[in-house]
Structure 1
Amino acid sequence: MILLSPCPATRLLPSTDAEDIVALARDFAANELTPRVAQAEAAGAFPRDVFRRLGALGLLGMPYPEEVGGAGLPYEVYLQVLEEIAGAWASVGVGLSVHVMACYPLATFGTDEQRERWLPELLGGELLGGYCLSEADAGSDPGAMRTRAERTPDGYRISGSKAWVTHGGDADFYTLFARTSEERSRGISCFLVAGDADGLNPQAPEHKMGLTGSTTATLDYDGVQVDGDRLVGDEGAGLSIALQALDSGRLGIAAVAVGLAQSSLDHAVRYAQERETFGRPIIEHQGLGFLLADMAAAVASARAVTLDAARLRDRGLPFGQQASIAKLVATDAAMKVTTDAVQVLGGYGYTKEFPVERHMREAKVMQIFEGTNQIQRMVIARGLARGA
C-alpha cells in the first residue's frame, strides 16, 4: 500500500509541556502505528501491546490526577493527543477513548481505597478497560437495561448480557452498569468487574465493516459474583455516573473523528498536489480545489467545537450540551470528509492501495456509538428547551 506523509495541523496549545506531549504522540503514531495499521486492520488483529506502550508513555491516564497515577493534563490536551493517535490508527484511538471513559467512574466516584487499589494499574497500561452499558434492547435508552445485580451475603450476583462492548473478551476489567432495583432512574448501579471473573463469557466478536482491529463483542454475565467493594459510588447512582462518563466519552469520540477526518484530508491534499490532469496538478482545478477547501473547513470547525467543549470541562463549567454538539458536528464531518477524500482520489480511493477507503468505513460508526447522532440532536434540543 502507498502511504502518504501527513501534514500536521497547526495547533494552539496551553503550554510548551503540552506541545511536547502532542509531539510525542505524533511521533509515536508515525513511527509505531502507521507502519502496522493496514496489515493489522486487514487481519482483524487486536493490538494489545500498543495499549501497554501507551500506558508506559503516560498516555492512558492523561486527564486524571497525578496522585492516582495519571498525568493531570487538561482535557483539551488529552483530546489533541487522541486526535494524533486516531489519525494514524482509528481502532487504537477508539480504544484509548473507551479506556479513559471506563476509568472515569472509578476515578471520580470511587473511594480512596478503591482508587489506590485499582487506578494505578488501569492508568499505567497493565490493565485494559471496557465499558458495559448498552444491551441489545437498551442502547439509546440505558434506563431500560435488564442486566441485574442481586445482593448476596458477600456482595452481588450479576446476570444478563451487555452488547457492543469495545475490547469485549480482551479487556482486563469492565465498568459495568446493572439494575439493583426496579426504579428506572435510581435503580442502576456501577460495578468494577474483573475480565476473568467466573461466569463472564464473551460471545464471538462482531464482524464489522470498519475498526476491525478493535474487538467488539457481547458479554454474557452468568451469575458473576462480585465483592461488595467493587460497587463504585452509591447503589442506585449508576445511571447518573454512566451519563456523566458519556459526556466526556463523547468528546473522546469527537476527537477521534477529527483525527480521522484530518488524516483523510492530508492524504487527499497530497494526492491532489501530485496527480496531474490537463497539464497541471488537480488541486489547481477549481472544482476539486473548492471540494478540498470545504473539507478543510469541516475539519477545522469540528476541531474548534470539540476543543471549546473541552475547555468548558477543564474550567468546571457545564459542558454536556456542548459535548453532544461536538460529537454530532465532528462525526458528521468525518463521514463527509472521508467520503470526499475517496472522491478526490477517484478510482484509487476505492482501492485498498490508499487508506482513505478504510477511513470512510471507520467514520460511519462514529455517528453511531457513544449515543447516535439522532440522540445527540435530542440532547441538544432538550437543552435548548430548558434555556441552556
Structure 2
Amino acid sequence: MDGSVAPAAFDVARVREDFPILGQTRRGKKLVFLDSGASAQKPRAVIEAMKGMMEAAYANVHRGAYHLSEQATEAYEATRISVARFINAADEREIVLTGTGSTQAINLVAHSFGRGVLKPGQAVLVSEMEHHANLVPWQMLRDDHGTELRICRVTDEGELDLDDLEAKLADGKVGLVSIAHMSNVLGTVVPLRRIVEMAHAKGAKVMFDGSQGAVHRKIDVQAIGCDFYVFTAHKLYGPTGLGVLYGRLEVLEQMPPFMGGGDMITEVGLERSLFAPPPLRFEAGTPPIIEAIGLTAAIDYVEAIGMERIEAHEQSLVQHAMRRLTELEGVTLLGRAKDRGGVFALSLDNAHAHDMATLLDRAGICVRAGRHCAEPLHRRFGVESTVRASFGLYTTHEEVDYFADALAKAREFFA
C-alpha cells in the first residue's frame, strides 16, 4: 500500500464480522465483493430482524383489529420514523415507502407529479449520467403527456455541466429537475444545494436520485432544500423490494394517487372514492412489511457506526483506488470528478468487459460488467461497456490493491 489508511476510529475488520457472506471463499480464493453499487451485502442485524418478524410478529398492517396486527403496524410505521430521522425530513408524513426501490419511487413522481401537476409544454430536465430508472419514466411522460424532456450535458471529466444546466433552465419552462445525487458509473457527486438554488430561482422543483448517494453520504433534505429525494433499501445494506420517496408535504398533497386499491382511500363508493392524505395515498395494497423491518435495522446499523465515519472510510478508499487504478497501463477510467464516491467504471485495452469480469471472478472478485443501466452515458464516453467496481462500508484497502493487481494480470492475459 501507499500509506493511505482508513481512519483509526473505523474498524473495518470488526465491521466485516457483521456480514456473514464475506467469510466465504470462491474457488479457494477469499471472496472480494466489489458490486455493492448494484446491491449491498446484508449485516446479521438485518437478517435477524427480518427473520424475527416472520417468526414472531408477522401480520398484515393497518387493517387487523387484533394485537398481532397492531404490533406489526407499529413496527412498519416505525420505519417511516427511522427514515425521516435518517434524512432529516421535517415530518414523517413526507416519507412514502414504495415496492421496488428507487425505480418505483421515481415512476411514482413521474406518474403522479408529472401527469397530475406538470402542465403539457413544461419540461423535465435530467442529465446524461442518469440511470435508466431516471430517464425512461420521463421519456414515457414526454410521449404520453406532451412534457418536454431536456438533457444536461456531462463534461469530459465526468462532472455535471452547471453552465449547461443554467442555460436549459433559463426560459423558466422547466417544471422539474431530476438528477442523480451520485452517478452509478462515474462516481460523480453533484452539488446538491447549488442545483436546488438554480432550479428554484426559475420556478422548478428538484428531485435527486439518491440510490448511490444515500449509501455514502449523510443526507439532510431540509438543508439541501430539495422537493423530492429517493433511495433504495437494498443498496443501504437492507432488503430488496423496498424503496423510499421523500417529498415535501405541501408538494405531496398536490399530487393524485399513483395506484388505486386498499389502504390508499378513506371512503369507496361504486361511482367514486375519496383518497387518503399522504403518505398512505401513495401506498396502495399490502406493503413490503418484512422488508420495512429490514430497512429499519439497516438504518439503525449504519447510524450506530456513523455516516460521517463511513464516508471518511470510503473517501480513503476512493483516494487509494484513484492512485492505484490510474497508474495501470492499458486501463481507461471513466470520470475524474473532483467530488466522487466509491464507484469505478473502467475498460481494458483488447478485452471485453464480460471477459474481464469472468477472469476476475476466477480470482474471487465480484464486479459488474456491461452498461450498468446507463447506455447513453457509455455512448457519451465512446465505450461499449465497462467493468465496474463499487465499494461498501466493508471494503478494505487490501481488496482495492488485490483488484488493481488482478487487473494488471488480466491485461497481461489479454495482451
In the superposition, the TM-score normalised over structure 2's length comes to 0.25
In the superposition, the TM-score normalised over structure 1's length comes to 0.26
Q: Computing the radius of gyration over CA atoms, which structure comes out larger, 1 or 2?
A: 2
Structure ranking higher on relative contact order (CA contacts 8 Å, 6+ apart): 2
Q: Which has the higher helix share?
A: 1
